[in-house]
Every structure is written in C-alpha cells, then in structure tokens.
Structure 1
Amino acid sequence: MNPPNPGDWQRSSPFALLFFAGNVVRILARAMLGALIPLIAIIPLVRDDPGALGILLLVLGAVLLLPFVVGAVQWACFKFRIAGDRLLIRKGVLKKTALDLPYERVQGINVRRSPVDRLFGLVTVTLDTSGSVQAEGKLPSIKTEVAHRLQRSVTALRPVLGGPAAGEGDSAAAGASGSAAPVEARSGVGRDSVLLRLGSADMVRIGLASRNFIFVAALVGVLTDLLQPGDSLDPILEAIEAGVDSAASAFTSLGALAQVGLAAAVIASIAGVALLLTVTAAFLRHHNFTLQHDGGRFRSRAGLLTQREVVVEAPKIQQLTVSQGLVLRWLRRYRLYALPAAAVSPDAGRVSAVEVPDVLEVPLLGDRLAEELRSLMFEREATAVPVLPGSLGLKRVSPHYIRALALRYALVLVAVFGTLLLLAGAGVFARTSTILFWWAASIPAAALAAWQRWRRQGYAYDRDGLASRSGFLGSEVKAFPLRKVQSATVRQSPLQRRKGLATLRVQLACGRITVPYIDRRVARALRDYILYRVESSRRRWH
C-alpha cells in the first residue's frame, strides 16, 4: 500500500481509539459518578433476585462498554490534512466540527509518547494557539514521520531568529549571582545548545520539594490509622491488629525517652514512604529532563513511561513565573514556568475540565540559569527586572497592606467562630469556653499571617518589563515585558484612598498580575507608561 501524499486526508492509527475512549471516560466520570455509586450499592440488596441482578449487571456492563463504542465511532469520524500553510481537522459524529488552523497562529508544538505509542512508533501531537484557552489542534496516535512533517511545515512558515530585538533598545543587564544549576550544560547560547539536563539526584530533590509531599505523608498516616479488619481480609487484618495491640502494650511499658524515639521512628517511616511516592512521581514525569535552546525556540523533553516534548517559541512567551518553596530555598534551587498566550497555571490546569495547553516547565534550576532564561525568553527585553524571589531589587509594598489583610482575616474568623458560637448556643457544642479560647488564639496568628504575606509582597520594573512577587511560606515572581499587556487598571479601596495608595492590575493573555498597595502616583504613572509602551511598540505581542 502506498503512503498517503502530504496533502491527502489522513486518519489516526487505530490505537487512537484509546485516546477517544479515555475522553469519553472522563466525561462520564464527571457526569455519572453520582449515579454509579448508588448502582453499585444496590448490588448487595438485589443479589437474591436473579432477574433484578441480571438487569443491574447488564446496565453496568453497558456503561463500561459505552466509552469504547463511542470512541470507535469518534475515531472513524476523525480525519486531518496537512496543507502547505494550515492544518485541517474534521471530527464529530452528530455535531460536525471543521477546524482550520493556520500555522501562523501556532505558538507551541507539544509531543507526547505513551507506552503504547512508543511500542508502535506513534506520537500524539498538540498544537497550542494564541487566543484559545484550550488546546485546539490535537492529533492522537499518528505516525512519527507525519508528526515530523507537520513540525517542519510549522517551523518553515514561522521562522524565529535569536538575538536582540530590533528597534526596542536593550536595557541595562542585571548582575547574575549565586550558585550554579544542578547539571547545567553551558555550551554557549547558540543554536541547539543544551541549557539544562537533570539527573537521578535531581529527581530526589524534586520529590522532596514537591507540594504533594506533606499531603501524601498525611494520607499515609490516615490510611494506617484507619486500617481495620474487613469482611474479606479478616485473617490478615486481624493478625495485623493483634500485632498493633501487642506493640501498643510494649510501647506503654517503655520509658519516656524510648517512647519519643519510637514515635520519631514512626514519623520518619511515614515521611520515608511519602518521599518514595513523590520521588517516584518525579521520575515518571521528569526523568531525563533536557532543556534545549534552538534559535529562539525552547524545547523540553522528559518522561519515563509517557515521554513529553514541549516546544515554545520565545516571541510567544507572555510571562515567566519563578517559584521557590521552603525546601527549594534550602536547596538554593527554583522552579520556572514559561506561559504562552491563553495558558493557565499548571495547578489550575490539572483541576480544570478543559484540556489546557502545555506549559514549558523547568522543575529544578539554579539562579544563574533563571536569569539567563529571562534574557533569552524575553529576547533581551526587561533585563533589569529581577526574576528571583530573593532579589534585593524588589521593592516592598506599603505596610498598610498588613492592615487590609488583617481585616480580611478578621472577617473570616468572625464568620467561622460566630457560627460555632451559635451552634454552641443551640446545644451542638458543649464547651463555649473552648471556642472562645481558639478564637482568641487565632487573632495573633492572623496578624502574623498578614505580616508574613506583606513581607513576601514586592514589585520591580524597568523601561521594558515589570515583576511582581507574592507568597506566604514560599514565594514566586511573575515577570513580563510591558508590550505584552492587554489592559492595565488602577483601583482604590476606601482605605487606599485615605492613605494615598492604589492597586495596579495588569491583564495578560495568560492571566492577571496584581501589584497591591503602592503609591497612587506610582500606580497611575505605571499604568500610563504601560499603555504607552503597548501602543508604541512595533513588535507583535505573540
């Protein structure tokens, strides 16, 4: 059989049926989760009635089979065509959709290879476009040569040149200081240069710095505490319970020092299990992570089972986010996200119901590489804007911000503890004094939290860009070139009007950035200058 011509209509591999079936499963899981639980709960009630049990099992079987049937029909109705200047996609069963995607709108080409795709030489390609919240063009389980041809077509029509931006003027470069990145390959900033490569030790650091570490540790502790004998595992679980009871009696007979040591050993074991799980997740997602710079394009590759490749062009990057938690601060490392237009933060994307574009993520890097990526991704713009959370160039906002936060927290406390006091008055809670004690104890805690958030809040700007820092225990800096801004507004609360302060809100194509409680004259001057830079710039914002 002859291979199809580049301009012919083509179909995905039959293995794409798994992709379409997975989409149906996600939709059904959100829509029918509440209905499946009662159906499963009815099974013990009707197991003595063969007729009702047969009908119920038939319904459950149909629900389980439905995703594959619908997925097969969707695969049969899906076809695409790689034209000279655009990608054409036709899909839909009852509702037909015709997608015409010009290559000039493409701002990122992302490639994923699941274990099934790798086994049969297939890839899944996603094209991220400007002006769309979700990923528009997605070709599941296509041949590798077809994906390469599509990449060549897009890159040939949208060449990107490196180097300084013409006509914008370079700002004074900020001094780069600090430690080096984990395993940074510094072969210059030319074409096809490898900027960063992470190894096995870095996976341990990523797992230790994961935000899910504390959650997983708490979950392990709760599961071990809730372990009780069941109906089907009585012999095993009863033996465990007997062992736990004997251990508890032995524990009470130990001295105080031995009890403290044993408790510390148990906590360390739970933390070790949690660390093992988060490090395993880091290996699965970031194994063999490599960041390359290729003539104005940034390409990241990573993944153990499912390999991911994200390609973003420098002109398409709207914002850089550099974050540092407590563990990363101890390790003197950072995490960086490069957000293109219409992208959202990764945390929001994971809980969203829509499929958002992939974000270029660097899970672990040093301060010098972060500064270098700022210069490369912003194309020599905003070189004096700091991107590191601990930079001394970030100014703090007005201390009146503490009062505003404390008032906000106080209103929340009044609502929560006022409700508890009403319930106590109705007899739900017996001890009103306990509620009053915790209410009084929470007041200094709220004031301390407001002070800590004020310490993390800061901002900085130069003639080309602006950066805003925020956080609580950790901190993150969001930086962007001024010409990328879509709107800028200045708002004042009653407290701000009395103190001559204001809040600057800047809207980008990837989200909103807020600089609260700065001098009103500075906020208005920044707003006017940002709008001037947007109107006077001759360069495209994406």
Structure 2
Amino acid sequence: MSEPSPSAPPMEEVRSPLSDGEWHRMHPLTPLLRGGLFLLVVIGIVVANLRERLVALFIPDFSDEGEVPGDPVDYVLSNNLLLVAGLALLGTLVVLTVIFWVSWRFHTFRITGDDVEVRTGVFFRTHRRAPLDRVQGVNLTRPLVARLFGMAKLEVIGAGLDSNVKLEYLSTSNSETIRADILRLASGRRLGEASAAEGAVDAGSRVHQAANLVSAGITGIIEGEDLEAAEVESVVHIPAGRLAASRVLSTSTLGLLAFLAVVIVGAVIGEPWVLFAFVPALLGFGAYWVRSFVRSLRYSIAPTSGGVRITFGLFTTVSEILPPGRVHAVEVRQSLMWRPFGWWSIAVNRISGRAMTDAGTDQLTSVLPVGTRADVERVVRLLLPALPEDQLALVFEQGILGPAPGDPYATTPRRARVFRPLSWRRNGFLLTPDALFLRRGFIWRALGVFPLARMQSIRISQGPVDRALRVANLTANVVSGTVTTTVGVVDRDDALRAFEDAAQGIVAASAGDRTHRWAR
C-alpha cells in the first residue's frame, strides 16, 4: 500500500479518490468540449462551401440543374483526386487527435489540504492555485453539450480579481463529490477541531480523546455516503407563468418595446439610418431578454451544510454553493409594475473572482428572480443567518413596506424634501448592532442590508447644497456589485451619529464573526 502524499488532505475530510493530494487528469473528452467552438467554425465553413451539394443530396427538387461552379467535390471527382482528398482528411483528423491528446495529457489538477491547483499548456505553461481559506464559493456548470456526455465543470471562486480556478471537465458524479470535498476543506472545520482538541488535552484524558476518534470513525462507516452532496429540496418554487409575467412587466421589456417602436417608425417614414442604427441594438436587446428568461428557468435555492445552493438555467445549468459569510450585501427590490402582484427580487454583492471583462461576472448577483413575500423572507433567512429574528420586521414591515407607525429609520428631513419629493418619508437608514439598512425609492422600492461583519468602512459625503441644508450622503463600503450602497439627503447629525456607531460596530462584529468556519 502506497504512502499518502504529504500534501494530501485528511482522509476523513474527503470522499472522492481524486481529492488525495496527487495530480490527476481531466476527463478524456475535455479537449473536445473545450475546442467545441473551433469545431463548430470548421463545420460551418464546410457547410457553407457544400451547401448546394447538401441541398441536392437531401432535397433534390429544390436544387438547380447542372454543375455548381467552383464546387470542391466536383473538382476532386473531375481531377481524380479522391485518394488525395481522403488522405488529407485523414491527416487532419490525426493531427487534431494528437493535439487533443497532448492537451489532455498536460491538463492536470490536484486538491491538497491547502489549495486547489490546475496546470495547463504545452509550450506556455500555466499554473493556477486557489487557497482554500480564500474560497468564496464553488460553481458547478453543465453546458448543454456537456450534459449530453454526463460531464460538468467546476469553478472555484477566489477572493481576488481573475483568481478563479476552473476544473473543466469532469464527470458529473465526480464534480459533485469534489465540490463537497472542497467546501468541506474550506469550511474551517479542521481549524475548529484542532482548537477544540487543544482545549481537550487540558480538560480530558488521552483515553477519552481516543474513544471519540473511534466513535467518529464508526459513525463515518455507518453513514457511508456523502450526505452533503445529496440533493436538497428548494425552499422557493417559481411557476413558469409568474416568471414570464415578471419579464413582461419589467423595465427591460419597456426598453425593448421602445426600440421596436423606433424601428417601425423609421421603416414607415423611410429613414434607412434608423434601421442601421437600431436593428442591431434591438436584436441584442431581444437576445438579452430571452437569455435572462431562459437562465431563470428551473430555479431553486436550498440550504446545505456547505452553504446556500442556488441552481438555475434551462439549457446550461449552473449550480453554485454560496458559503455563509460570503454575502457582503443583500438588496430586496420591487418595481411599480410588480406591486399589484406582491412580487420582489433579491440581489447580492459578492466576490465573483472573475475579470471585469468576463461576460458572466454578474450572472450570480440575482439570487431570487421573482418571488412573493414568503419567498423573500425564506431567502433572506438563508442569506443572512446571523440576522436576529426580531430584525426581520425591519426588512418588510418597516423596510420594503414602510414607513409604518413608529418608524425607526432616520429619513430625509422636511427642509430637504425638494430633492426627494415622493420618497422623502421612505428615504433613510437604520443602524443595528448586526447590520446597516438602507431604504429608498417610492416608485421602485429597494432595501439594502449590509452585515457589519462584511463591511470594510462607512463614508459620509457632502456637497455645497448639502452643507447649506445640513444633510449628507451615507455610503457603506463593501465589495462592488449591483446593490446600491448609498443613501442620500439624510440629516447630517443622524449621519454623523451613524458614522461613529458604525465604526465601533464594524470592529465588534468583525471580531466576533465566525461565519468563515461554517462547518462548526
């Protein structure tokens, strides 16, 4: 029996044989899936050049009589080059096979007790490493083609810009088990157990500790399967009809209709520049609308031992586990058109680990596309487990639906309501020992919740008019995202008191925060 690698994680912490600290290769079909775009381009060129012959072969009634000028197949047949063409095709396939094989041989990964590492490249080598104590989440993505082959890819989200590590591709079963291993290793469980063991040395005997270890081992044998990777039922169910209606009653739909109206008017009055200018934008807007709808289908959100599992997507399925302590801001939103139906959406600010140019950087900011009040309350409890139960009223009764009698929020004073003529009673903030609440909007309601343990700092700013009216702007400095982090035109004295209290509250909340060790 071979000795385990010195960098191997503890055996009791992992379930997959690929999480043993040794270098392993990806699935053998990985080069084919990663080079899928190149193959599609080649197939498109072939089809474009042989389209007349393909039409004559499959639909002879629609083909033109006679020989197609410049047809490559006719040229090969007429010049008796069939053998040469076959050898050239065979050589191309051999070269592609060798390239794919070499790419697969040099594409390896390993999972140690401290890092997830990936090495790629033949001539230009790349070695990426994601420290486990910096892991912000793990995404499991199953594109449509990969799903047909029973494969998926993992994306380990790091804490820096363009710091993610991708394991593409693995079998679906291996992907799910490895993801559970990574989350278990990143949970801080080992640090907590080591600390507890040190305390137990003084409090108990060595015999008692050995008995605990034997008991834990027997329990692991009896439990057998990895329960953390098991499917968990979603706490929210979004009917397809509600999702479609919410997209129709959205601002993006209004923009799409406006573009369409401009194009129709331009076509009627005979202005060609309107068509050239707006038709591409209309197509892009329409594609975005359809993609946002399809991406929200099959949505689910559920609690697991590793964090909150969020799954969505019809063709390309994305499943992310968002560990506790990785949510830096939560915002509940409601537009005017959704108000009669009682619908809300939820967005978060979190570290994506991707480059700013990555098209998928904001795909996981929306954690609830549309939901009822009961849905929102369940999701808020999942995303903010440290928020006391008595503060949930601050989210709905006083936050989204407020102001209510006894409103605890500090709002815009009457002397400055000209800058918030509709929302001056709603526009405000509230600081508690656990979080900062920012409430704003009358037509488009929104409430931002910022856990103090995740905030970097708090800022007050004033302009000349603000100073004259004795008001200020309050900003919570957290990681960037779609959540609005500023509330403006609040009383200056209230903002100053919040500034002082928040500075102390952030230090106290950060010192007492243990959400990075969620496995405990």
* Alignment TM-score, normalising by the size of structure 2: 0.62
What is residue 175 of structure 2 aligned with on the other side?
A: 147
2:385 aligned partner: 379
Equivalent residue number for residue 25 of structure 2:
10
Matches for 1:436-515 after TM superposition, within 5 Å: 451-452=421-422, 454=424, 457-471=427-441, 473-510=443-480, 513-515=485-487
CA distance in 2, matches of 1:452, 1:12: 58
Tell me the equivalent position of 2:372: 366
Name whichever of 191-200 and 313-322 sits farther off: 191-200
Compared CA separation, residues 399 and 99, structure 1 to 2 (3 A): farther
What is the CA distance between 1:356 and its match in structure 2?
5.8
Q: Is the 8 A contact 1:86 1:101 kept in 2?
A: yes
* In structure 1, distance between residues paired with 2:352 and 2:495: 26
- What does residue 335 of structure 1 align with? 345
Report Cα offsets for 1:511-537 as digits up to 9, x if no partner.
572232323332222122222122223
Q: Structure 2 CA distance, aligned partners of 1:399 and 1:18?
A: 62
- Write the distance in 2 (CA, Å) between the matches of 1:287 and 1:375: 23
* Among candidates 211, 217, 220, match of residue 257 of structure 2: 217
Partner of 1:308: 318
Could you tell me which runs of 5 or more consecutive residues in structure 2 were left unpaired when the two chains were aligned.
1-15, 41-95, 190-230, 271-282
1:229-244 → structure 2 map (5 Å cutoff): none
Q: 1:99 to 1:396 in 2, by over 3 A?
A: same
Distance of 1:326 and 1:221 partners within structure 2: 23
Q: Distance in 1 between matches of 2:294 and 2:148?
A: 17
Pairing 1:82-481 to 2, within 5 Å after superposition: 82-91=111-120, 96-130=125-159, 132-134=160-162, 136-159=164-187, 192=232, 194-227=234-267, 281=291, 283-295=293-305, 297-341=307-351, 355=361, 358-359=364-365, 361-381=367-387, 383=389, 384=391, 385-386=394-395, 388-392=399-403, 393=407, 394-399=409-414, 401=416, 451-452=421-422, 454=424, 457-471=427-441, 473-481=443-451
1:320–1:337 Cα contact (<8 Å) kept: yes
Q: 1:300 to 1:527 in 2, by over 3 A?
A: same
Aligned partner (choices 495, 499, 506) of residue 534 of structure 1: 506
Residue 328 of structure 1 and its aligned partner are, at CA, apart by 1.7
| Structure-1 separation of matches of 2:302 and 2:341 | 24
**Aligned counterparts of 2:515 and 2:459: Cα–Cα separation in 1:** 19
Alignment check: 8 A CA contact 1:111 1:123 kept: yes
Kindly state the Cα deviation for residue 227 of structure 1 after the two structures are TM-superposed. 4.8
1:145-175 deviation digits (Å, cap 9, x = unpaired): 33123212113224499xxxxxxxxxxxxxx
Distance 1:8 1:343, change over 3 A: closer
Distance 1:336 1:135, change over 3 A: farther
Unaligned runs of 5+ in 1: 26-67, 162-190, 231-272, 406-449
CA–CA distance in structure 1, aligned partners of residues 115 and 108 of structure 2: 14
CA–CA distance in structure 1, aligned partners of residues 360 and 414 of structure 2 = 40
Shift of 1:378: 1.9
Aligned pair in 2 of structure 1 residues 199, 299: CA closer, same or farther (>3 Å)? same
Alpha-carbon contact 2:157-2:165 (below 8 Å) kept: yes
Residue 530 to residue 521, structure 1, CA distance change in 2 (3 Å): same
Contact (CA 8 Å) 1:319, 1:479: kept in 2 or not? yes
User: What letter matches 2:26 in structure 1?
Assistant: R
Trace 1:46-65 onto structure 2 (pairs within 5 A): none
Residues 77 and 93, structure 1, Cα contact 8 Å, conserved in 2:
yes
What percentage of residue pairs aligned between the two structures are identical?
A: 21
Q: 8 Å contact 2:311–2:318 — kept in the other structure? A: yes
| Cα distance in 2 between the residues matched to 1:517 and 1:212 | 29
Residue 160 to residue 494, structure 1, CA distance change in 2 (3 Å): same
Q: Match for 2:507: what amino acid?
A: E
Shift of 1:220: 2.9
Deviates more, 1:283-292 or 1:107-116: 283-292
Q: How many pairs are equivalent?
A: 375
Amino acid at match of 2:142: R
Q: Deviations over 1:96-126 (max 9, x none)?
A: 4322212222121112211101111111221
For 2:35 and 2:426, the matched residues in 1 are separated by 45
1:525 aligns with 2:497: yes
> Any idea what SS the aligned residue of 2:395 has?
coil
The 2-side partners of 1:282 and 1:142 are apart by 27
Is 2:235–2:378's contact at 8 Å kept on the other side of the alignment? no
Q: Aligned-pair distance for 1:334?
A: 0.3
TM-score by length of 1: 0.59
Q: Deviations over 1:178-220 (max 9, x none)?
A: xxxxxxxxxxxxx945310122222222322333211222233
CA contact (8 A) 1:456 1:472 kept: yes
Amino acid at match of 2:427: Q
Q: Distance in 2 between matches of 1:308 and 1:293?
A: 16
Q: Give the deviation of 1:475 after TM superposition.
A: 2.5
Q: Distance in 2 between matches of 1:509 and 1:214?
A: 30
Q: What is the alpha-carbon distance in structure 1 between the residues aligned to residue 123 and residue 132 of structure 2? A: 28
Q: Distance in 1 between matches of 2:123 and 2:161?
A: 24
* Residues 1:491 and 1:148: Cα distance change in structure 2 (over 3 Å): same
How far has the Cα of 1:382 moved from its partner? 5.4
CA distance in 1, matches of 2:377, 2:362: 27
Q: Structure 1 residues 480 and 468 mapped into 2: Cα distance closer, same or farther (>3 Å)?
A: same
Task: Sort the Cα spacing of 1:457 and 1:382 in 2 relative to 1 into closer, same or farther, 3 A.
Answer: farther
Note the aligned Cα RMSD (angstroms).
4.1
CA–CA separation in structure 1 for the residues paired with 2:137 and 2:162: 13
Q: CA 1:455 to 1:139, structure 2 compared with 1: closer, same or farther past 3 Å?
A: farther
Query: In 2, Cα distance between the equivalents of 1:275 and 1:486?
Result: 36
Preserved contact between residue 294 and residue 313 of structure 2 (Cα < 8 Å) = yes
Cα offsets for 1:397-446 (capped at 9, x unmatched): 2345555x5xxxxxxxxxxxxxxxxxxxxxxxxxxxxxxxxxxxxxxxxx
Q: State whether residues 84 and 153 of structure 1, in contact with CA within 8 Å, keep that contact through their aligned partners in structure 2.
A: no
Contact 2:410 2:430 in 1 (8 A): yes
Q: Is contact 2:146-2:152 (8 Å) kept? A: yes
Other structure's SS at 1:316 match: coil
